[in-house]
Structure 1
Protein backbone atom coordinates (compact mmCIF):
# COMPACT_ATOMS: atom_id res chain seq x y z
CA UNK A 1 0.00 0.00 0.00
CA UNK A 2 1.23 3.50 -0.80
CA UNK A 3 2.31 5.90 1.92
CA UNK A 4 -0.69 7.57 3.51
CA UNK A 5 -1.03 11.25 4.34
CA UNK A 6 -2.96 11.85 7.53
CA UNK A 7 -4.72 15.24 7.63
CA UNK A 8 -4.21 16.17 11.27
CA UNK A 9 -7.51 18.04 11.56
CA UNK A 10 -9.48 15.16 10.03
CA UNK A 11 -7.81 12.10 11.60
CA UNK A 12 -8.85 10.29 14.79
CA UNK A 13 -7.11 7.58 16.78
CA UNK A 14 -9.55 4.87 17.89
CA UNK A 15 -8.34 2.90 20.91
CA UNK A 16 -10.59 -0.13 21.32
CA UNK A 17 -11.20 -1.79 24.70
CA UNK A 18 -8.19 -0.59 26.75
CA UNK A 19 -9.35 -2.45 29.87
CA UNK A 20 -7.26 -4.05 32.58
CA UNK A 21 -8.84 -7.42 31.76
CA UNK A 22 -7.25 -7.20 28.30
CA UNK A 23 -3.98 -5.36 28.91
CA UNK A 24 -2.86 -5.82 32.53
CA UNK A 25 -1.18 -8.64 34.41
CA UNK A 26 -3.96 -10.32 36.36
CA UNK A 27 -6.61 -9.42 33.81
CA UNK A 28 -9.10 -12.17 33.00
CA UNK A 29 -8.35 -12.17 29.28
CA UNK A 30 -4.72 -11.05 29.36
CA UNK A 31 -3.24 -14.57 29.73
CA UNK A 32 -4.81 -15.52 26.40
CA UNK A 33 -3.36 -12.53 24.53
CA UNK A 34 -0.08 -12.27 26.43
CA UNK A 35 2.05 -14.48 24.12
CA UNK A 36 1.21 -12.49 21.02
CA UNK A 37 1.12 -9.19 22.90
CA UNK A 38 4.69 -9.78 24.05
CA UNK A 39 5.82 -10.99 20.63
CA UNK A 40 4.60 -7.85 18.85
CA UNK A 41 5.44 -5.47 21.70
CA UNK A 42 1.81 -4.44 22.12
CA UNK A 43 2.05 -2.35 25.28
CA UNK A 44 5.25 -0.59 24.21
CA UNK A 45 3.75 0.19 20.82
CA UNK A 46 0.50 1.50 22.29
CA UNK A 47 2.51 3.76 24.59
CA UNK A 48 4.60 5.03 21.68
CA UNK A 49 1.51 5.67 19.60
CA UNK A 50 -0.20 7.46 22.47
CA UNK A 51 2.74 9.85 22.76
CA UNK A 52 3.00 10.43 19.01
CA UNK A 53 -0.73 10.89 18.47
CA UNK A 54 -1.09 13.35 21.33
CA UNK A 55 2.02 15.27 20.27
CA UNK A 56 0.42 15.83 16.86
CA UNK A 57 -2.89 16.94 18.39
CA UNK A 58 -4.86 14.09 16.83
CA UNK A 59 -8.07 13.33 18.76
CA UNK A 60 -8.00 10.19 20.89
CA UNK A 61 -11.25 8.26 20.94
CA UNK A 62 -11.84 5.47 23.45
CA UNK A 63 -14.06 2.77 21.95
CA UNK A 64 -15.14 0.61 24.89
CA UNK A 65 -16.83 -2.76 25.03
CA UNK A 66 -19.90 -3.16 27.19
CA UNK A 67 -18.84 -3.59 30.81
CA UNK A 68 -20.47 -6.75 32.10
CA UNK A 69 -23.21 -6.35 34.70
CA UNK A 70 -25.24 -9.05 36.46
CA UNK A 71 -28.05 -10.19 34.20
CA UNK A 72 -26.36 -9.21 30.94
CA UNK A 73 -27.26 -11.55 28.04
CA UNK A 74 -29.02 -14.05 30.30
CA UNK A 75 -32.50 -13.53 28.85
CA UNK A 76 -31.39 -12.69 25.30
CA UNK A 77 -32.85 -14.67 22.42
CA UNK A 78 -29.51 -15.32 20.72
CA UNK A 79 -26.39 -13.87 22.32
CA UNK A 80 -23.35 -14.47 20.12
CA UNK A 81 -20.41 -16.70 21.17
CA UNK A 82 -18.31 -13.78 22.40
CA UNK A 83 -21.19 -12.42 24.45
CA UNK A 84 -21.62 -15.83 26.03
CA UNK A 85 -17.93 -15.83 26.96
CA UNK A 86 -18.35 -12.42 28.59
CA UNK A 87 -21.47 -13.60 30.41
CA UNK A 88 -19.76 -16.68 31.84
CA UNK A 89 -16.39 -15.03 32.49
CA UNK A 90 -17.68 -11.66 33.71
CA UNK A 91 -15.14 -9.88 31.52
CA UNK A 92 -14.75 -6.12 31.91
CA UNK A 93 -17.12 -6.14 34.89
CA UNK A 94 -18.48 -2.73 35.77
CA UNK A 95 -17.22 -1.53 39.14
CA UNK A 96 -14.37 -4.05 39.23
CA UNK A 97 -10.66 -3.63 38.50
CA UNK A 98 -10.88 -5.64 35.28
CA UNK A 99 -13.42 -3.21 33.86
CA UNK A 100 -11.27 -0.17 34.60
CA UNK A 101 -8.94 1.42 32.07
CA UNK A 102 -5.34 0.25 31.92
CA UNK A 103 -3.61 3.13 33.74
CA UNK A 104 -1.36 3.97 30.77
CA UNK A 105 -4.32 4.36 28.42
CA UNK A 106 -6.98 5.95 30.58
CA UNK A 107 -8.81 8.86 28.93
CA UNK A 108 -7.27 12.28 29.36
CA UNK A 109 -8.94 15.66 29.30
CA UNK A 110 -10.38 16.32 25.86
CA UNK A 111 -10.52 12.67 24.80
CA UNK A 112 -13.77 11.30 23.40
CA UNK A 113 -15.35 8.25 25.00
CA UNK A 114 -17.88 6.55 22.73
CA UNK A 115 -20.87 4.70 24.08
CA UNK A 116 -20.11 1.08 24.96
CA UNK A 117 -20.64 -1.48 22.21
CA UNK A 118 -22.56 -4.67 22.93
CA UNK A 119 -21.14 -6.65 20.04
CA UNK A 120 -17.80 -6.38 18.27
CA UNK A 121 -18.19 -3.18 16.25
CA UNK A 122 -17.52 0.10 18.00
CA UNK A 123 -19.95 1.76 15.57
CA UNK A 124 -22.99 -0.49 15.76
CA UNK A 125 -25.63 0.89 18.15
CA UNK A 126 -23.28 3.56 19.55
CA UNK A 127 -22.64 7.28 19.00
CA UNK A 128 -19.14 6.80 17.59
CA UNK A 129 -19.97 7.77 14.00
CA UNK A 130 -21.94 10.81 15.17
CA UNK A 131 -19.11 12.05 17.37
CA UNK A 132 -16.50 11.59 14.65
CA UNK A 133 -18.58 13.42 12.07
CA UNK A 134 -19.12 16.31 14.46
CA UNK A 135 -15.32 16.65 14.52
CA UNK A 136 -15.08 16.48 10.72
CA UNK A 137 -13.14 13.21 10.88
CA UNK A 138 -12.49 11.35 7.61
CA UNK A 139 -9.49 9.15 8.57
CA UNK A 140 -9.39 6.67 11.45
CA UNK A 141 -6.47 4.73 12.92
CA UNK A 142 -7.80 1.64 14.73
CA UNK A 143 -5.79 -0.08 17.49
CA UNK A 144 -6.47 -2.17 20.59
CA UNK A 145 -8.08 -5.56 21.15
CA UNK A 146 -8.78 -8.03 19.61
CA UNK A 147 -7.34 -8.02 16.09
CA UNK A 148 -9.84 -10.47 14.59
CA UNK A 149 -12.95 -9.40 16.51
CA UNK A 150 -13.52 -5.86 17.76
CA UNK A 151 -10.71 -4.30 15.71
CA UNK A 152 -11.80 -5.96 12.49
CA UNK A 153 -15.50 -5.34 13.09
CA UNK A 154 -14.94 -1.68 13.98
CA UNK A 155 -12.59 -1.07 11.07
CA UNK A 156 -14.85 -2.84 8.56
CA UNK A 157 -17.82 -0.79 9.72
CA UNK A 158 -15.74 2.38 9.41
CA UNK A 159 -14.99 1.51 5.80
CA UNK A 160 -18.67 0.92 5.11
CA UNK A 161 -19.42 4.38 6.54
CA UNK A 162 -16.90 5.99 4.21
CA UNK A 163 -13.91 6.54 6.50
CA UNK A 164 -10.30 6.03 5.44
CA UNK A 165 -9.11 3.16 7.65
CA UNK A 166 -5.62 2.33 8.93
CA UNK A 167 -4.78 -0.85 10.84
CA UNK A 168 -1.60 -1.08 12.93
CA UNK A 169 -0.49 -4.69 12.89
CA UNK A 170 1.69 -4.54 16.05
CA UNK A 171 -0.69 -2.37 18.10
CA UNK A 172 -3.15 -5.20 18.57
CA UNK A 173 -3.14 -8.86 19.59
CA UNK A 174 -5.24 -12.02 19.36
CA UNK A 175 -5.49 -15.43 20.99
CA UNK A 176 -3.57 -17.30 18.28
CA UNK A 177 -1.06 -16.47 15.53
CA UNK A 178 -3.45 -17.64 12.83
CA UNK A 179 -5.99 -15.07 14.03
CA UNK A 180 -3.42 -12.31 13.63
CA UNK A 181 -2.52 -13.66 10.20
CA UNK A 182 -6.15 -13.66 9.12
CA UNK A 183 -6.72 -10.15 10.46
CA UNK A 184 -3.77 -8.57 8.64
CA UNK A 185 -2.86 -10.80 5.71
CA UNK A 186 -6.22 -12.21 4.58
CA UNK A 187 -9.07 -10.01 5.75
CA UNK A 188 -7.47 -6.62 6.34
CA UNK A 189 -6.38 -6.08 2.74
CA UNK A 190 -9.99 -6.47 1.57
CA UNK A 191 -11.19 -3.34 3.40
CA UNK A 192 -8.38 -1.34 5.05
CA UNK A 193 -6.73 1.50 3.14
CA UNK A 194 -3.44 1.00 4.99
CA UNK A 195 -1.93 -1.73 7.18
CA UNK A 196 1.23 -0.47 8.85
CA UNK A 197 3.53 -1.01 11.80
CA UNK A 198 3.80 1.36 14.72
CA UNK A 199 7.15 2.67 13.48
CA UNK A 200 5.79 3.23 9.99
CA UNK A 201 2.78 5.12 11.29
CA UNK A 202 4.84 7.34 13.58
CA UNK A 203 7.22 8.09 10.72
CA UNK A 204 4.29 9.09 8.52
CA UNK A 205 2.87 11.34 11.22
CA UNK A 206 6.24 13.00 11.79
CA UNK A 207 6.48 13.92 8.11
CA UNK A 208 3.22 15.82 8.17
Structure 2
Protein backbone atom coordinates (compact mmCIF):
# COMPACT_ATOMS: atom_id res chain seq x y z
CA UNK A 1 0.00 0.00 0.00
CA UNK A 2 1.42 3.36 -0.99
CA UNK A 3 1.57 6.31 1.38
CA UNK A 4 -1.23 8.03 -0.53
CA UNK A 5 -3.44 4.99 0.08
CA UNK A 6 -2.83 4.95 3.82
CA UNK A 7 -6.09 5.49 5.68
CA UNK A 8 -6.53 8.07 8.40
CA UNK A 9 -7.37 7.04 11.93
CA UNK A 10 -9.81 9.29 13.76
CA UNK A 11 -9.23 8.85 17.49
CA UNK A 12 -12.97 8.86 18.12
CA UNK A 13 -13.48 5.98 15.65
CA UNK A 14 -10.26 3.97 15.83
CA UNK A 15 -8.73 1.55 18.32
CA UNK A 16 -5.55 -0.44 18.78
CA UNK A 17 -6.06 -4.16 19.46
CA UNK A 18 -3.00 -5.67 21.14
CA UNK A 19 -3.31 -9.45 21.00
CA UNK A 20 -1.70 -11.73 23.60
CA UNK A 21 1.04 -9.55 25.15
CA UNK A 22 2.05 -12.33 27.55
CA UNK A 23 5.49 -13.30 28.83
CA UNK A 24 5.05 -16.76 27.32
CA UNK A 25 5.07 -15.14 23.88
CA UNK A 26 7.38 -12.18 24.29
CA UNK A 27 9.94 -12.87 27.01
CA UNK A 28 13.11 -14.94 27.08
CA UNK A 29 12.09 -18.08 28.93
CA UNK A 30 8.50 -17.90 27.71
CA UNK A 31 7.06 -21.19 26.51
CA UNK A 32 6.24 -19.84 23.05
CA UNK A 33 9.16 -17.45 22.65
CA UNK A 34 11.38 -20.10 20.94
CA UNK A 35 8.58 -20.61 18.39
CA UNK A 36 8.64 -16.98 17.24
CA UNK A 37 12.08 -15.76 18.31
CA UNK A 38 13.82 -15.92 14.92
CA UNK A 39 11.10 -14.04 13.07
CA UNK A 40 10.46 -11.65 15.97
CA UNK A 41 14.08 -10.59 16.17
CA UNK A 42 14.34 -10.18 12.40
CA UNK A 43 11.22 -8.00 12.55
CA UNK A 44 12.51 -5.96 15.51
CA UNK A 45 9.20 -6.92 17.03
CA UNK A 46 9.59 -5.49 20.51
CA UNK A 47 10.76 -2.10 19.25
CA UNK A 48 7.89 -1.92 16.78
CA UNK A 49 5.31 -2.92 19.37
CA UNK A 50 6.62 -0.22 21.69
CA UNK A 51 6.51 2.35 18.89
CA UNK A 52 2.97 1.53 17.78
CA UNK A 53 1.64 1.42 21.32
CA UNK A 54 3.25 4.75 22.21
CA UNK A 55 2.00 6.41 19.02
CA UNK A 56 -1.55 5.11 19.51
CA UNK A 57 -1.63 6.41 23.07
CA UNK A 58 -0.19 9.77 22.00
CA UNK A 59 -2.82 10.05 19.26
CA UNK A 60 -5.62 9.37 21.73
CA UNK A 61 -6.64 5.96 20.38
CA UNK A 62 -8.15 3.60 22.94
CA UNK A 63 -6.12 0.46 23.57
CA UNK A 64 -7.81 -2.92 23.88
CA UNK A 65 -5.79 -5.83 25.24
CA UNK A 66 -7.05 -9.03 23.61
CA UNK A 67 -5.78 -11.96 25.72
CA UNK A 68 -5.84 -15.69 25.13
CA UNK A 69 -7.42 -18.05 27.63
CA UNK A 70 -5.17 -18.67 30.64
CA UNK A 71 -4.91 -22.43 31.04
CA UNK A 72 -6.24 -23.99 34.24
CA UNK A 73 -6.41 -27.70 35.16
CA UNK A 74 -9.52 -29.24 33.71
CA UNK A 75 -9.65 -27.10 30.60
CA UNK A 76 -11.04 -29.08 27.66
CA UNK A 77 -12.14 -32.03 29.83
CA UNK A 78 -15.22 -33.68 28.32
CA UNK A 79 -15.10 -31.36 25.30
CA UNK A 80 -16.55 -32.93 22.18
CA UNK A 81 -14.02 -31.63 19.68
CA UNK A 82 -11.36 -29.20 20.88
CA UNK A 83 -9.24 -27.93 18.02
CA UNK A 84 -5.63 -29.00 17.46
CA UNK A 85 -4.67 -25.45 18.41
CA UNK A 86 -6.47 -25.75 21.76
CA UNK A 87 -5.12 -29.22 22.44
CA UNK A 88 -1.56 -28.06 21.84
CA UNK A 89 -1.95 -25.10 24.16
CA UNK A 90 -3.40 -27.31 26.89
CA UNK A 91 -0.71 -29.95 26.45
CA UNK A 92 2.02 -27.37 27.05
CA UNK A 93 -0.02 -25.44 29.62
CA UNK A 94 0.54 -22.20 27.71
CA UNK A 95 -0.38 -19.02 29.62
CA UNK A 96 -1.08 -21.13 32.72
CA UNK A 97 -3.12 -19.09 35.18
CA UNK A 98 -0.99 -17.81 38.05
CA UNK A 99 2.27 -18.51 36.24
CA UNK A 100 4.93 -16.02 35.16
CA UNK A 101 4.19 -16.91 31.54
CA UNK A 102 0.61 -15.68 31.90
CA UNK A 103 1.73 -12.30 33.24
CA UNK A 104 1.82 -9.32 30.90
CA UNK A 105 5.17 -8.62 29.29
CA UNK A 106 6.20 -5.60 31.40
CA UNK A 107 6.50 -3.08 28.55
CA UNK A 108 2.99 -3.90 27.35
CA UNK A 109 1.03 -4.24 30.58
CA UNK A 110 -2.35 -2.47 30.51
CA UNK A 111 -2.44 1.09 31.77
CA UNK A 112 -5.33 2.94 33.39
CA UNK A 113 -7.90 3.62 30.69
CA UNK A 114 -7.01 0.55 28.63
CA UNK A 115 -9.66 -2.13 28.18
CA UNK A 116 -8.84 -5.78 28.85
CA UNK A 117 -11.18 -7.95 26.80
CA UNK A 118 -12.47 -11.30 28.02
CA UNK A 119 -10.14 -14.16 27.13
CA UNK A 120 -10.56 -15.97 23.82
CA UNK A 121 -10.54 -19.76 23.79
CA UNK A 122 -9.52 -20.16 20.17
CA UNK A 123 -7.70 -17.88 17.76
CA UNK A 124 -10.23 -15.08 17.27
CA UNK A 125 -10.36 -12.29 19.81
CA UNK A 126 -14.05 -11.82 18.92
CA UNK A 127 -15.42 -15.35 19.22
CA UNK A 128 -17.13 -15.90 22.59
CA UNK A 129 -15.77 -12.63 24.06
CA UNK A 130 -17.08 -9.13 24.68
CA UNK A 131 -14.75 -7.43 22.18
CA UNK A 132 -17.40 -6.55 19.57
CA UNK A 133 -19.74 -5.11 22.18
CA UNK A 134 -16.97 -3.05 23.78
CA UNK A 135 -15.81 -1.65 20.44
CA UNK A 136 -19.34 -0.73 19.44
CA UNK A 137 -19.94 0.97 22.79
CA UNK A 138 -16.81 3.04 22.14
CA UNK A 139 -18.10 3.83 18.61
CA UNK A 140 -15.04 2.22 17.04
CA UNK A 141 -15.17 1.46 13.31
CA UNK A 142 -11.42 1.09 12.54
CA UNK A 143 -9.21 -1.46 14.27
CA UNK A 144 -5.42 -1.78 14.13
CA UNK A 145 -4.06 -5.20 15.06
CA UNK A 146 -0.66 -5.89 16.62
CA UNK A 147 0.72 -8.75 18.70
CA UNK A 148 1.03 -12.50 18.31
CA UNK A 149 0.92 -14.36 16.04
CA UNK A 150 0.37 -13.29 12.49
CA UNK A 151 -1.17 -16.41 10.96
CA UNK A 152 -3.31 -17.49 13.93
CA UNK A 153 -4.74 -15.00 16.43
CA UNK A 154 -4.00 -11.86 14.43
CA UNK A 155 -5.43 -13.31 11.22
CA UNK A 156 -8.47 -14.87 12.91
CA UNK A 157 -9.24 -11.68 14.82
CA UNK A 158 -8.78 -9.57 11.69
CA UNK A 159 -11.00 -11.82 9.59
CA UNK A 160 -13.73 -11.80 12.23
CA UNK A 161 -13.46 -8.01 12.49
CA UNK A 162 -13.92 -7.64 8.74
CA UNK A 163 -16.94 -9.97 8.81
CA UNK A 164 -18.46 -7.76 11.50
CA UNK A 165 -17.97 -4.67 9.36
CA UNK A 166 -14.84 -3.11 10.88
CA UNK A 167 -12.09 -1.46 8.87
CA UNK A 168 -9.05 -3.66 9.53
CA UNK A 169 -5.37 -2.67 9.54
CA UNK A 170 -2.55 -5.19 9.91
CA UNK A 171 0.94 -4.04 10.87
CA UNK A 172 3.33 -6.40 9.15
CA UNK A 173 6.36 -5.82 11.41
CA UNK A 174 4.48 -5.49 14.72
CA UNK A 175 3.75 -9.22 14.78
CA UNK A 176 5.67 -12.45 14.24
CA UNK A 177 5.13 -16.08 13.28
CA UNK A 178 6.80 -19.46 13.59
CA UNK A 179 8.54 -19.06 10.23
CA UNK A 180 9.23 -16.42 7.60
CA UNK A 181 6.92 -18.32 5.24
CA UNK A 182 4.04 -18.23 7.72
CA UNK A 183 4.54 -14.48 8.13
CA UNK A 184 4.68 -13.97 4.37
CA UNK A 185 1.50 -15.98 3.82
CA UNK A 186 -0.30 -14.00 6.52
CA UNK A 187 0.46 -10.67 4.87
CA UNK A 188 0.85 -11.41 1.18
CA UNK A 189 -1.67 -14.19 0.55
CA UNK A 190 -4.27 -14.23 3.30
CA UNK A 191 -4.21 -10.65 4.58
CA UNK A 192 -5.25 -8.99 1.32
CA UNK A 193 -8.47 -11.05 1.30
CA UNK A 194 -9.85 -9.29 4.39
CA UNK A 195 -7.61 -6.41 5.56
CA UNK A 196 -8.27 -2.88 4.31
CA UNK A 197 -4.67 -1.83 4.98
CA UNK A 198 -1.43 -3.75 5.56
CA UNK A 199 1.19 -1.27 6.75
CA UNK A 200 4.67 -1.20 8.17
CA UNK A 201 5.17 0.33 11.59
CA UNK A 202 6.74 3.38 9.95
CA UNK A 203 3.75 3.95 7.68
CA UNK A 204 1.34 3.53 10.56
CA UNK A 205 3.27 6.01 12.71
CA UNK A 206 3.10 8.51 9.86
CA UNK A 207 -0.66 7.97 9.60
CA UNK A 208 -1.17 8.41 13.33
Alignment TM-score > 0.5, same fold: yes
- 1:52-201 correspondence to structure 2 within 5 Å: 52-201=55-204
Residue pair 1:11, 1:59 contacting (<8 A) in 2 also = yes
Deviations 1:7-29 (A, max 9, x none): 11110000000000000000000
Deviations 1:69-98 (A, max 9, x none): 011113211111111111110000100000
Residue pair 1:74, 1:87 contacting (<8 A) in 2 also = no
Give, in whole Å, the separation in 1 of the partners of 2:87 and 2:204.
35
More displaced stretch, 77-86 vs 150-159: 77-86
Normalised to the residue count of structure 2, the TM-score between the two structures is: 0.97
The offset of 1:5, in angstroms, is 1.0
Q: Which runs of 5+ in 2 are unaligned?
A: none
Q: How many residues align?
A: 205
Residue pair 1:91, 1:98 contacting (<8 A) in 2 also = yes
Q: Which runs of 5+ in 1 are unaligned?
A: none
State the superposition RMSD in angstroms: 0.6
Q: Identify which of 13, 19, 22 aligns with 1:19.
A: 22
Give, in whole Å, the separation in 2 of the partners of 1:37 and 1:56.
26
